């Protein structure tokens, strides 16, 4: 009979308990023992939720204080030298790597952060050198295993595979062959497995998601060698793959020294017979049959029909699970007491996905499909629901042509018109959009939503916040201002709340990184804009100053990527629907006197398919969607976009094809290394490389900012450079924000004098 296991569970807790505990510890209002106790409480609750839902083999090691890649870095002793501190402890060392600062130890530059494959989850990039030495230096995993066992659970420890870990790492100094470090790293992994075997662990999950990529021969051989090295250490090894089809690696996988393989059955069309053959009768086959990355209820009846033959054939050698870790989904749908009942009937969060597996397992074992047929009725009802279709939207998208993705003139002509209209200095200074979200701002938004603050009072308070932000920016001497986004809870959620075909939950939080949680919109129908979404706030801000104020929008690809997207319509069509809605907003902002409009696309790179052979198709429709959104702008209206955590070498041509007048990008953590993409590619438009890292409370000095601008000027002509932070300032405090921006403006002023 098929066993139910899970690859990972949301670590934040039902009510984001981990977020609040982390931030309290960083602020010094709780001590480390209290933080650790809260972590143990969250793990206990998570294991209980899964066990009650029917999961028999529970993931352990999926809990992390910041992210699981960083946890691996600390466990294998790969801490960068600058983050070591004699007056610190392992947990604070971890936080210094992630944030540049912790309650104990030195303040120093944080490590880079980027996206986990094609998800909106961030990880801290390991920094390795050719002389790297690994050692088992952290025992958290073994502590968590003991906790689970003492609670009566059967744990399945989860490890990031050593080859994936090396693949994700960066060379700290000069480039070198990272795979040369594999033999030494494998020695540490062997020690880990030996310790787990001593704890009576039977199965260990080794995650190697790079198998979804198109790997070269060196990495393919490294994967084979790693499993040969790790076998025979007293535990059974379950290779876990996910996020895409791995059929192109099946010949390799069948030669791995492993005891079982987990495949993401939902990632693409998969030949189950080919998977079965590759695994063989002597090894376990695990199938990810419910979606670990989306929130739609599974059609268990259809799954049963497809799985029944293989379940009959394999018996206990078949396991069922979510497609990937449930880290990417909210914790529990039952908390959503105010959600539209029909929409709620279409959904399943992490807890419910575990329950789905239990229902499916029962049907496979008993051949009684009554329960799953009843459960799947809502899925079929959704498929025929009339509320998801909007003919007006469908007709607008169908009518789009190549001309709808064109500005009035080429950039060379637009740039002259914009320079005359805006009259900006050399190295113009600006920010990315958001300013600190104070407790007063959050309370006002919360009270307004709850109905305890009326509309007039809410608008009065938001306008007061905008006035304050404008005055602060003028006092600092910034050249292009923003309204600060006080009215916005999240850059995607804010727009999703105002678009037709989109709904929101109250507790549907997922982790983005560390203590940062987001509540993705649920796109369930055709997307349309019924009224202006940002015009009032931008117009008000512009009325307070003679300096230009940027209108702030989130782009179509990012809204799509950071939402739970309907699975009954292709992504390019949904992106076009959003783009048409945003185009209308651009026109309205322009008509309201807003001369600069920023259309943020931080998700542009992360959305790219994992296989390079599929990239161009994606880039074609993603670029088209962005250009449609910007196409309503006149020549004098300057269109900005913002991207972060991207390997720009992969998409530099597409960035140019987007034809934004100005692009701002995250480059500070890499010390402008990401600008290497522009070294061999002539990028004609203007660019603002981030000159300081907003994800750390550390305040940059004038000299360090000038150094970064000088480095940028080696790749981009100075007359086309902007000066800005690398991302929005929403998560920062006002004191550090003022200090950092003051230094940024001073650096720009000094450089103008030096260059004139």
- Phi/psi for 268 (5° steps) reads -165, 180
Whether 671 is catalytic: no
Give dist(CA 595, CA 611) in Å, integer: 39
| Entry pTM | 0.91
Cβ-contact 504, 519 below 8 angstroms: yes
Q: Are strands 113-115 and 122-124 parallel, antiparallel or unpaired?
A: antiparallel
Angle at 186 between CA 204 and CA 70, to 5 degrees: 70
Residue with tokens 């981030």: 690
Q: pLDDT (tens digit, 9 = 90+) per residue, 101-119?
A: 999 988 888 999 888 999 9
- What are the tens digits of pLDDT across the range 395-436? 999 999 999 999 999 999 999 999 999 999 999 999 999 999
Sign of CA dihedral 713, 715, 721, 726: negative
In 39-174 the beta strands, taken as DSSP E runs, fall at: 58-60, 113-115, 122-124, 127-128, 155-160, 170-171
pLDDT surpassing 90 at residue 588:
yes
666 vs 218, residue with greater confidence: 218
Mean pLDDT of 201-222: 98
274: tokens are 């080919």
Strand, helix or coil at 183?
helix
Whether pLDDT at 645 is above 60: no
d(C-alpha 666, C-alpha 554), whole Å:
16
CB contact at 8 A, 7 and 13: no
- Which residue in 133, 124, 144, 128 sits closest to 68, CA to CA? 124
CA distances from 170 to 165, 284, 673, 697 (A): 10, 34, 12, 24
Q: Which one, of 725, 718, 728, lies nearest residue 743 by Cα?
A: 725
| pLDDT (tens digit per residue) in 469-498 | 999 999 999 999 999 999 998 889 899 999
Residue 1's pLDDT is 67
Question: pLDDT digits over 678-736, tens only?
Answer: 766 778 899 988 888 887 888 999 999 998 888 888 888 899 999 999 889 998 999 99
Helix (H, G, I), strand (E, B) or coil at 607: coil
Confidence of residue 647 (pLDDT cuts 50, 70, 90): low
Q: What is the pLDDT of residues 357-397, one digit of tens each?
A: 999 999 999 989 999 999 999 999 998 888 999 999 999 99
Sequence-separated (6 or more) residues with CB below 8 Å from residue 169: 78, 125, 126, 127, 128, 178
Q: Considering the chain, what is the average pLDDT of its residues?
A: 94
* Secondary structure (3-state) at 61: coil
Catalytic member of 262, 304, 640, 695: 695
Q: For residue 600, report the phi and psi dihedrals to the nearest 5 degrees.
A: -70, 135
- C-alpha–C-alpha distance, residues 1 and 307, integer Å: 12
pLDDT at 85: 84
| The pLDDT of residue 668 is above 70 | no
Residue 92's pLDDT is 95
- Report how far apart, in Å, the C-alpha atoms of 68 and of each of 74, 141, 672 are: 10, 11, 26
Residues 317 and 373: beta-carbon distance below 8 Å: no
Burial class for 123, CB neighbours closer than 10 Å (0-12, 13-18, 19+): buried
Instruction: Looking at 646-694, list the stretches that DSSP marks H as alpha helix, in order from N- to C-terminal side.
Output: 652-658
Residue 640 has pLDDT above 80, yes or no: yes
| Separation CA 259–CA 273 (nearest Å) | 18
Of 62, 81, 79, 56, the C-alpha closest to 18 is 62
CA atoms of 368 and 359, how far apart (whole Å):
10
Q: What is the mean pLDDT of residues 554-573?
A: 95
DSSP 116: S
| Residue 248 predicted with pLDDT over 60 | yes
Cα of first residue to Cα of last residue in the chain, in angstroms, is 77
168 contact partners, CB below 8 Å, separation of at least 6 = 69, 123, 125, 126
Instruction: Take residue 295 and report the two structure tokens written for it.
Output: 């929130």
Distance of CA 398 to the CA centre of its chain: 31
- CA distances to 108, 475, 699, 754 from 750, rounded to whole Å, are 25, 17, 18, 6
């Amino acid at each position: 009979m098929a066993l139910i296991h899970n690859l990972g569970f949301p670590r934040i807790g039902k009510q984001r308990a981990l977020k609040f505990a982390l931030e309290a510890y960083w602020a010094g209002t709780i001590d480390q023992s209290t933080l650790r106790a809260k972590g143990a409480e969250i793990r206990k609750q998570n294991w209980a939720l899964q066990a009650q839902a029917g999961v028999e083999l529970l993931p352990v090691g999926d809990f992390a204080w910041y992210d699981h890649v960083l946890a691996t870095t600390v466990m294998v002793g790969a801490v960068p030298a600058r983050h070591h501190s004699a007056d610190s402890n392992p947990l604070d060392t971890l936080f210094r790597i992630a944030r540049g600062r912790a309650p104990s130890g030195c303040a120093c530059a944080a490590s880079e952060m980027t996206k986990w494959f094609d998800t909106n989850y961030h990880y801290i990039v390991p920094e390795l050198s050719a002389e790297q030495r690994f050692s088992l230096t952290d025992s958290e995993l073994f502590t968590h295993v003991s906790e689970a066992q003492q609670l009566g659970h059967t744990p399945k420890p989860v490890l990031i595979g050593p080859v994936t870990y090396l693949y994700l790492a960066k060379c700290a100094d000069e480039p070198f062959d990272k795979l040369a470090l594999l033999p030494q790293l494998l020695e540490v992994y062997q020690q880990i497995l030996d310790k787990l075997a001593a704890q009576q662990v039977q199965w260990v999950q080794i995650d190697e998601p790079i198998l979804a990529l198109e790997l070269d021969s060196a990495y393919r051989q490294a994967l084979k060698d790693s499993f040969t090295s790790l076998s025979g250490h007293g535990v059974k090894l379950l290779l876990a793959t996910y996020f895409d089809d791995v059929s192109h690696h099946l010949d390799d996988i069948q030669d791995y020294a492993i005891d079982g393989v987990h495949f993401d059955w939902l990632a693409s069309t998969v030949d189950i017979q080919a998977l079965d053959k590759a695994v063989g009768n002597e090894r376990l086959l695990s199938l990810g049959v419910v979606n670990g990355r989306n929130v739609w209820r599974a059609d268990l009846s259809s799954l049963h029909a497809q799985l029944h033959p293989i379940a009959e054939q394999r018996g206990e050698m078949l396991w069922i699970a979510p497609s990937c870790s449930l880290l990417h989904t909210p914790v529990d749908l039952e908390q959503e007491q105010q959600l539209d009942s029909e929409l709620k009937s279409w959904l399943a969060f992490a807890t419910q996905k575990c329950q789905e597996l239990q229902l499916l397992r029962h049907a496979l074992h008993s051949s009684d499909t009554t329960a799953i047929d009843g459960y799947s009725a809502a899925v079929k009802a959704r498929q025929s629901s009339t509320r998801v279709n909007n003919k007006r939207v469908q007709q607008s998208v169908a009518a789009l042509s190549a001309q709808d993705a064109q500005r009035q003139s080429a950039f060379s002509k637009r740039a002259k018109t914009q320079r005359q209209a805006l009259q900006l200095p050399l190295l113009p200074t600006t920010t990315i959009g958001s300013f600190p979200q104070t407790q007063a701002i959050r309370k006002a938004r919360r009270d307004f939503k709850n109905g305890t603050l009326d509309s007039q009072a809410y608008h009065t308070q938001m306008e007061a916040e905008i006035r304050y932000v404008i005055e602060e920016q003028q006092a600092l001497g910034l050249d292009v201002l923003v309204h600060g986004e006080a009215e916005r809870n999240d850059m995607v959620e804010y727009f999703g709340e105002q678009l037709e075909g989109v709904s929101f939950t109250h507790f549907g939080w997922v982790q983005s990184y560390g203590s940062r949680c987001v509540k993705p919109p649920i796109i369930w129908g055709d997307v349309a804009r019924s009224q202006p979404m940002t015009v009032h706030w931008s117009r008000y801000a512009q009325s307070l100053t003679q300096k230009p104020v940027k209108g702030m929008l989130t782009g179509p690809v990012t809204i799509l990527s950071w939402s739970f997207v309907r699975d009954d319509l292709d992504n390019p069509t949904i992106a076009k629907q959003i783009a048409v809605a945003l185009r209308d907003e651009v026109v309205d902002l322009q008509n309201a006197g807003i001369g600069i409009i920023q259309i943020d696309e931080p998700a542009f790179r992360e959305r790219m398919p994992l296989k390079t052979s599929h990239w161009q198709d994606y880039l074609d429709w993603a670029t088209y969607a962005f250009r449609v959104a910007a196409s309503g702008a006149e020549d004098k209206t300057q269109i900005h976009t913002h991207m972060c955590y991207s390997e720009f070498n992969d998409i530099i041509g597409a960035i140019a094809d987007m034809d934004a007048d100005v692009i701002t990008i995250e480059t500070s953590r890499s010390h402008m290394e990401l600008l290497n993409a522009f070294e061999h590619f002539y990028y004609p438009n203007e660019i603002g490389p981030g000159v300081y890292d907003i994800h750390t409370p550390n305040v940059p000095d004038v000299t360090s900012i000038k150094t970064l601008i000088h480095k940028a000027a080696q790749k981009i002509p100075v007359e086309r450079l902007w000066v800005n932070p690398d991302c929005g300032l929403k998560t920062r405090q006002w004191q550090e924000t003022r200090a950092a921006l003051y230094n940024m403006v001073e650096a720009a002023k000094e450089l103008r004098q030096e260059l004139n």
